[in-house]
Amino acid sequence: MTRTHFDLTGHRALVTGSSLGIGRALAEGLAEYGASVVLNARNETRLHEAADILRGRGFDVAEAAFDVTDAAAVETAIARIEDAEGPIDILINNAGMQFRAPLEEFPTDKWDLLLATNVTSAFLVGKAVASRMITRGAGKIINIASVQSELARPGIAPYTATKGAIRNLTRGMATDWARHGLQCNAIAPGYFKTPLNQALVDDPNFTAWLEQRTPAGRWGDVDELVAAAVFLAGPGSSFVNGHTLYVDGGMTASI
């Protein structure tokens, strides 16, 4: 094992939902290890602000504003990125959302939105990028799962369903695409301080529960996800496929 197993120099990564939170942290982390990164979001202002921050740190950054739940928009955007920037070697399907409500009261439109944002987007972007990776005989796809791929909590059953789907979609991607030279894996974060979790971070009762429930006794910091992403994006994971790597402070290991 050498440092080249983690060297991403000369590779290009697309990270969906990367204007803030986990997505932006992962994009920056890949850039620190040498990758050129393409940021994605629907909000062009926020996307441009994130890109400017990373460019200010000397990284090679491009922007791609498109809706990851729109099949036609995804295909157009992926074609444009590869034409303008070059081949996408690494894809991180990070785009996601949360909506909390008791299951018996959960709005149907929010169910549809969660499925589209958390699952359909990974299918659409994954398929568009993989079809090009397959012709090149190589590629890395990393889907962002969750501890909710394994566990459930009150009020988020549909989110849990989407993250369980991501875990098995990852397995399906590996099963279909490994023979073409692709490695398809997932990272399953525990509870991290992100905009998506801000309401929970601000709730002292929830934080107290989390600290007691998680063996590490604390919230995670998004920077603690970077090494997992670099490993799965780099040459060192060439025989890792269909795996979900839990980065959760021990939560899924403990009862």
Sign of CA dihedral 94, 188, 110, 126: positive
191 in catalytic set: no
Q: Does 205 map to a domain?
A: no
Q: What pTM did the predictor assign?
A: 0.96
Q: Does 199 map to a domain?
A: no
What is the maximal distance between C-alpha atoms in the chain? 53
Q: Provide mean pLDDT across the span 33-55.
A: 97
Q: Does 241 map to a domain?
A: yes
- CATH number of domain containing 51: 3.40.50.720
pLDDT mean across residues, the chain: 96
State what percent of residues in the chain have pLDDT above 90: 95
Given this model, what pLDDT does residue 194 score?
87
Given this model, what pLDDT does residue 196 score?
77
Q: Does 40 map to a domain?
A: yes
Given this model, what pLDDT does residue 2 score?
55
The helix/strand/coil state of 218 is: coil
- Catalytic residue among 33, 159, 191, 246, which? 159
C-beta of residue 199 within 8 angstroms of C-beta of residue 205: no
Q: Does 50 map to a domain?
A: yes
Residue 71 CA: distances (Å) to CA of 55, 85, 95, 116: 29, 21, 15, 11
CA separation for the pair 19, 46 (Å, rounded)? 6
Q: What is the pLDDT of residues 226-238, one digit of tens each?
A: 999 999 999 999 9
The helix/strand/coil state of 144 is: strand
Q: What is the pLDDT of residues 56-80, one digit of tens each?
A: 999 999 999 999 999 999 999 999 9
Task: State the pLDDT confidence band at 1, using cuts at 50, 70 and 90.
Answer: very low
Q: In the chain, how many domains are there?
A: 1
Q: Does 207 map to a domain?
A: no
Q: What's phi and psi for 39, nearest 5 deg?
A: -85, 145
Q: What is the pLDDT of residues 179-193, one digit of tens each?
A: 999 999 999 999 999
Given this model, what pLDDT does residue 255 score?
87
For residue 160, pLDDT over 90 is answered with yes
Q: What is the pLDDT of residues 214-226, one digit of tens each?
A: 999 999 999 999 9
Q: What is the pLDDT of residues 5-43, one digit of tens each?
A: 999 999 999 999 999 999 999 999 999 999 999 999 999
Q: Which amino acid is at 95?
A: A
- Which residues form the domain of 183? 3-192+221-247
Q: Does 19 map to a domain?
A: yes
Starting at the edge strand that comes first in sequence, how are the strands of the sheet with 182-189 ordered? 61-65, 36-41, 12-15, 90-93, 139-144, 182-189, 244-247
Of 158, 103, 96, nearest to 121 by C-alpha is 96
Given this model, what pLDDT does residue 195 score?
83
CA separation for the pair 35, 26 (Å, rounded)? 11
Q: Does 39 map to a domain?
A: yes
Q: Return the structure tokens found at 168.
A: 């098995």
